[in-house]
Amino acid sequence: MKLNRREFLSLSGKSAAGAVIFAACSIPEKELIVQSPVDMPEDLVRGIDTWYATSWNEGASGDGILVRVLEGRVKKIKGNPDHPVNRGAARSNYDSAIQLHYNPDRLHDHKIRRSKKGILSNISKNDANKLISEATSKDKKIVVVTNPTRSTEGWVSEKFAESRGGRYLTYEALEESNLYEAIYDIFETNEIPHFDIGNADNVLSFGADWIENWISPAGYGDAFGKLRSGNRGFIAHVEPRFSLTAASSDLWVSPTPGKEAEIALSIANIIIKEKLVPDSQIKDFLNKFPEGKVEFGYDPNDVETRTGVSAKKIHEIAHRISKGNSIVIAGGSTSAYTNGKFNTYVAFSLNVLIGSIGKKGGVILNPEIKSDYIGGDAKPSSLKEWQEELAQWRAGYVDTVIIKGVDLAYSMPNSLDVRGALANVENVISFGNIMNETLDASDIIIPETTFFEEWGSEIPNPLPGYKTISLQQPVVVKEGPGASGAVSYVDKLIDLEPSIGSSNKSLVKKVFENEYTNSENTGSVIAKNKTSFMNGVQQRGGFWNINEIKDPKNIRLKNPFDYSDVNSFSETDSSYGEEFHLIPFTTTLMDGKLSNSPWAQQSADGITSAAWQTWVEINSNQAKELGIKEGDIIFLKSDSGEIKCLAYPHPAVQPGTLCVPTGQGTLKGGRYSSDRGSNVLKILSGKSDEESGAFAWASTKVSLKRAGGNEKFPKFEGNVEAFPAEPGVPVLVVAPGQTAHEAEEENHHKYQEILNFRKHHDEEHNDEEHND
């Protein structure tokens, strides 16, 4: 009997733990068999594959995923069609996690450095635990550092830091602090809204490469497919780099870096002057702007002169987004200048002007989810906060730093000198799976479990418009292949401070038990008891409730000109070479997290088809003027350092701009990542947004110099020299009663034709060599 998804879930919910009812919550009907026995089958080995619903906080935050396990080993990861964030859509990096879990360079043993200038050596787990207990005692001044997260892990990190009177910080290499700042100032919420792209008619994005790798690419990719398969819609994208979103757009606008807000205000100028939207919306928009600033200060023709974007294109965008259901998105490089908050705020405020807030196919505000055992923040700590924190480390005011999920020594720019700061901290304790630059600078290294082996709960970022909590559950045992000695980060902190809870698993279960108590028989799982409810949560990969939403309030715009509207770039050495703006961008390798996965390394970039290297995208005409060809070795120098990369001339790069991918160039990684390419993050200038303190990672200028020499550019596109193929030798057909010799004689003419062809081909080839 063939069952659809809902029928299967209804039946499979009737387990030994009790009956469970699954509400569809508008999830499309798809066949799905997801296992969730009452007790995890940790010793089960059989020749039938099993799928588990879980999530991956560090690599695909917010996505629901399904993991295929066969004979006790992880074989495949794909999107969970039952999860409301990505609805079965997947990211290109999913399967790379498998190679990190079963990586030949995975750490198995605790390591210790006896002195700051000593070398790392293995140490027994018991001896390491004694040293860790001493380093984290209550008389120590402690700082905990992780990647941005709203999860049980984040809550435990906060509680442990509080128990020691310390601080908890997060770090993200190409951070989006200004995105959160602007959203809070406009919408009075800390939640990134749900952009209802699938039901929109028009989408205008500034800097945010939402189709490829911005915030929630799997969810946005699914929405993009729905948009294009419906009325097709209209997409305009504003960004100096020709990204995958730019390539997928109907209209790509490439402005001078840092001038994006001028385009947004010019669009507003046209909408207001031509009254393309109702007067009430215009009045609400202009209420907080200086009188006459928008109407008279941003004429499209003047803006064309300042930004390089034609007035005709600005007019087209203004008219398009004034009709139907429209959305304006901003982030990425638009948010990463010294005037990043101003740019982002102005772009998002267009949603007020066109009336898209709280409407289908518009900007849906997400509810703010509170849970007793979920903490942390999706918003990363700002550069200003990190500069202040590192000053404390350098001064010796911090005794112990605990680091998990982020490679500070690799991802922070040289200007911050994080290795120098770590050298002045008495105890640096780092959790990790594979060696990296931060682990290499640590005093104690703890081999960490992967998400395949760990419990967790997480609030997705962004939410799908209503309450959602994702589950992470173990799908293989910690004692499995390649996992000996692995330690749970959360359980280790609980072991050091038992008042936090009894175990990671118990805290995760409490999260969902609270949902069972408070949901009042509504939501994606309905059960008669907590055990049955948890069983249902494990089968679906979380809990969500479409009834818990946020009502849009009256939006009160602030005057964006209270923020700094002027972008300033770092200084360069003009004697070194030609000056350019530098725009870093992320690929499948992310910020280096996946660089030791061959699958991630070989994943071709969506635009250049390049892999395995660090390249620099340069405008084709400028490259020709400078005598630069594809594969030429190039040096880029900023006020923070110098890197080497291979040239990739590209006609769609903004003149005066260079674009370089992140993820390569680690000095202390595994066999697939060490000494491969260059680390562009190290040469980013330490400039920040004066208003928010956010890292202005797109406000770096560099000087370019040819190093001399050329290397084969590793890419999948291009021309392949063709050679004539020789015909193969036919299979000898032997008739009944015929010998092989007789068959050869009978088919002699066929073989003679082949020999004649080969002889003729060899003679032509020899003549060509002689002529050369």
Distance CA 345, CA 177 (A): 12
Q: Give pLDDT, residue 294.
A: 61
The string of pLDDT tens digits covering residues 246-275 is 999 999 999 999 999 999 999 999 999 999
Q: Poorest-confidence range of 24-38, 635-649, 687-701? A: 24-38
Tokens linked to 739: 């010998």
Among candidates 684, 714, 711, which has minimal Cα distance to 697?
A: 684
Split at pLDDT 50, 70, 90, the class of 12 is: very low
pLDDT at 3: 42
Residue identified by tokens 């509207």 is 565
pLDDT number for residue 758:
60
Q: Which tokens is 617 given?
A: 């995208």
Neighbours of 746 (CB within 10 A): 14
pLDDT, position 561: 80
Q: Which tokens belong to 9?
A: 């879930």
Tokens of 238: 């504003």
Coil, strand, or helix at residue 753?
Answer: helix
Q: Quick one: pLDDT at residue 135? A: 96
What pLDDT is recorded for position 9?
A: 44
**Residue 370: is its pLDDT beyond 70?**
yes
One-character DSSP codes across 684-747: S---B-TTT--B-TT-EEEEEEEEEEE----BS-S-----PPPPPPPPPP--TT--HHHHHHHT
Res. 160: pLDDT tops 50: yes
pLDDT winner (highest mean) among 279-283, 328-332, 607-611, 733-737 = 328-332
Helices marked H in 252-310: 260-273, 279-286, 293-297, 300-307
β-strand partners of 206:
238, 330
> Is the confidence at residue 5, as pLDDT, over 50?
no
Q: What is the pLDDT of residue 13?
A: 42
User: With pLDDT > 90 as the criterion, what percentage of the chain qualifies?
Assistant: 70
Length of the chain: 772
Residue pair 546/277 in contact (Cβ under 8 Å)? The answer is no
| Packing angle of the helix pair 260-273, 300-307 (nearest 10 deg) | 170
Q: Is residue 40 very low, low, confident or very high in pLDDT (cuts 50, 70, 90)?
A: very low
Residue pLDDT, tens place only, 199-236: 999 999 999 999 999 999 999 999 999 999 988 899 99
Helix, strand or coil, per DSSP, at residue 525: strand
pLDDT digits 0-9 by tens, 301-336: 999 999 999 999 999 999 999 999 999 999 999 999
How many CB atoms neighbour CB 279 within 10 A? Answer: 9
Buried-state track 509-530, b at ≥16 Cβ within 10 A, e below 16: bbbbbbbbeebeeebbbbbeeb
CA distance 594 to 409: 16
Separation CA 386–CA 352 (nearest Å): 34
CATH architecture of 194-364: 3-Layer(aba) Sandwich (3.40)
Residue-wise pLDDT for 115-133, tens only, equals 888 999 999 999 999 999 9
pLDDT band at 8 (very low <50, low <70, confident <90, very high): very low
The residue-averaged pLDDT of 164-188 equals 94
The whole-number pLDDT of residue 768 equals 54
**What is the distance between the alpha carbons of residues 328 and 354, in angstroms, rounded to a whole number?**
9
Q: The tokens of 447 are what?
A: 């081999």
pLDDT at 450: 94
Residue 1 is predicted with a pLDDT of 39
User: pLDDT tens, 498-524?
Assistant: 999 999 999 999 999 999 988 888 899
Confidence of residue 759 (pLDDT cuts 50, 70, 90): low
Q: Report the SS3 class of residue 653.
A: coil
Give the tokens for residue 604: 């071709």
Comparing 4 with 62, the larger pLDDT belongs to 62
- DSSP letter for 554, please: P
What pLDDT score was predicted for residue 293?
63
**Of 350-354, 665-669, 753-757, minimum mean pLDDT range:** 753-757
Per-residue pLDDT at 738 = 79
Per residue in 90-105, pLDDT (tens digit) is 988 899 999 999 999 9
CATH class of 580-710: mainly beta
Instruction: Please check whether residue 356 is in contact with residue 499, taking contact to mean a CB–CB distance below 8 angstroms.
Output: no
Residue closest to 40 by CA, chosen among 537, 535, 543: 535
